[in-house]
Structure 1
Amino acid sequence: MVPKTLAENAGLNAMEIISSLYAEHASGNTKVGLDLEEGRCKDVSTHNIWDLHITKFFALKYAADAACTVLRVDQIIMGKPAGGPSKRDQPAGMDED
């Protein structure tokens, strides 16, 4: 997702960039990334560009927190009894039919 957005914002052909990245990674070159200045894929480790661990850490942390919040809200909603009048609160003279 990130390389596609980068390529589109840089005015490059996103499909071409993504397919070349897939081809490089499939051939075993895992340190290949997108060079926006030249508009092609390059080995980014030679330029001392490394992916930040902290970014992935917080992305996973916030994703897990969001999932827990959704489950917590679901438990609160499912734990409440359904609304509507109960049978004993019916007005006098009303049949069950």
Structure 2
Amino acid sequence: MAIADWVQRQLAKAPPWSDEQFEEVQKLLCPPAPPEEFMHWRVRLYCGHICEVTRLRRHERPDGGVTDKERCAECGLNPSVIVAFEPLVSG
């Protein structure tokens, strides 16, 4: 437990990161996926609104099989459950 306490003390002394620093570290640790790895979906939300979302292609569904919730950009309901979806095909 002494190590965890030491780490907490060191972190408390560290200066806060700017948004730019945080974004740079995020890019290094989690590089963005190339555009061809994304798929666009049209989803109908429980609130009745329809919106388009972008998700990684490796998921067979826009919820990634993990969560069926999405924030509605139109009415702000958060979360609003995805009740239907269809892939959008580029023409």
Same fold (TM over 0.5): no
**TM-score if structure 1 supplies the norm length?**
0.21
Name whichever structure is richer in strand by fraction. 2
Name which one, 1 or 2, has greater alpha-carbon Rg: 1
Greater RCO (Cα-Cα under 8 Å, separation 6 or more): 2
Under a length normalisation based on structure 2, what TM-score does the superposition of the two structures give? 0.22
Greater share of helix residues, 1 or 2?
1
